[in-house]
Amino acid sequence: EARAALPKRPPVVTIMGHVDHGKTTLLDYLRHSRIAEREAGGITQHVGAFTVETPQGKIVFIDTPGHEAFTTIRERGARVADIAVIVIAADDGIMPQTKEAIAHAKAAGVPMIFAINKIDLPRADVDKVMQDLMKEGFVPEAYGGDAIVVPISAKTGENVDELLDMILLVAEMEDLRADPEAEPRGVILESKRDKQAGVLVTLLVQEGTFRVGDYLVAGDVWGKIRAMIDPDGKQVKEAPPGTAVQVLGFRDLPEAGTAVEWVPDEVAAKHIAEERQEERKAREQEEAER
């Protein structure tokens, strides 16, 4: 098949699970940074994307919030993922948002890896979580099934290397490839207004290569890429498949989850965006009259 000749791309891994089960701490450990401590109230409220380098290649990680209010963000996170890591605290077990996360991953058809976290705690009960998982229909490999379960401590880093190995193994089986020369497309992970920079958009590139100067459309918003910043804060001129970059240059706030299309020039960009704005207005008018 022609696709087999395409270059491999990094896996996009979404971290999901119940509130405070340790998702952000795990990513912190992986990046050797301390983001969880800086968050307001220690609660993740948005989708953050980071790239982690391993000896076997890059992995793109997407953090999601565990708080029950953020169902849509979890659903979006699952939809863009190649692999979902479901984090379950060993002292707490499977909780409502754990089940919700599993349901989102299932609905999106994304393979799951279960990370039983906080095994450094004296009250950690890994066997109990394994039993919980079996009740949900996932039989761990240790029990003769095929569910991938890795007990870890995001705090001490115990077994985190094993988790990375499992992620890379599943990614390898999925044989993820993308064409860097194809017409670029991606998806908006996050968008916000920054006092200094203006509209700041986190874009996950899924196909092709976005370049500074490119015109793009996301729903009914258009833009011209003024600058791109990689997850390490470095300015980049190009964003190939499997990279998550911050993009400056959107004229308005595109909605998270919206597909991003490349367009050849400003005339086309404006035309598509305006047409969609008209459509939206007509739809809203119709709904208001009903």
User: Which of ligand GTP, Na ion, Mg ion, none is residue 153 near (CB under 5 to 8 Å by kind)?
Assistant: ligand GTP
Q: Does residue 74 touch ligand GTP according to CB under 6 A?
A: no
15 vs 216, beta carbon nearer Mg ion:
15
Tokens representing 123 are 């009250």
d(CA 260, CA 142): 42
User: Which of Mg ion, Na ion, ligand GTP, none is residue 67 near (CB under 5 to 8 Å by kind)?
Assistant: ligand GTP
d(CA 13, CA 25): 15
Q: Which residues contribute to the site for Na ion (CB under 5 A)?
A: 20, 42-43
d(CA 33, CA 38): 10
**Only segment of 21-29, 108-116, 180-188, 220-228 that touches ligand GTP (CB under 6 A):** 21-29
The reply to whether 118 sits in an annotated binding site is yes
Q: Does residue 43 touch ligand GTP according to CB under 6 A?
A: yes
The reply to whether 64 sits in an annotated binding site is yes
Pick from 12, 16, 19, 133 the residue near ligand GTP by CB under 6 A: 19
Q: Does residue 14 touch ligand GTP according to CB under 6 A?
A: no
Pick from 9, 10, 11, 24 the residue near Mg ion by CB under 5 A: 24
Pick from 23, 74, 76, 104 the residue near ligand GTP by CB under 6 A: 23
> 155: Cβ–Cβ under 8 A, 6 or more apart, which residues?
22, 25, 29, 118, 120
Q: Does residue 67 touch ligand GTP according to CB under 6 A?
A: yes
> Taking CB under 6 A as the criterion, which residues in 82-121 touch ligand GTP?
117-118, 120-121
Q: Provide, rounded to whole angstroms, the least separation between the CB of residue 113 and Na ion.
A: 20
CA 190 from chain center: how many Å?
A: 10
Q: How many residues bind Mg ion, per CB under 5 A? A: 3
Closest CA to 216 of 182, 241, 183: 183
d(CA 151, CA 163): 8
Contact (CB, 8 A) for 222 and 271? no
Q: Where do we find the tokens 């003024």? A: 226
> Taking CB under 6 A as the criterion, which residues in 146-205 touch ligand GTP?
153-155
d(CA 286, CA 290): 6
Q: How far is CA 234 from CA 197, 202, 227, 229, 230, in A?
A: 15, 14, 10, 5, 5
The reply to whether 63 sits in an annotated binding site is yes
Kind and range of the H or E element at 202?
strand 198-207
43 vs 126, beta carbon nearer ligand GTP:
43
Residues found near Mg ion in the complex (CB under 5 A): 23-24, 44
Residues found near ligand GTP in the complex (CB under 6 A): 17, 19-25, 36, 42-44, 65-67, 117-118, 120-121, 153-155
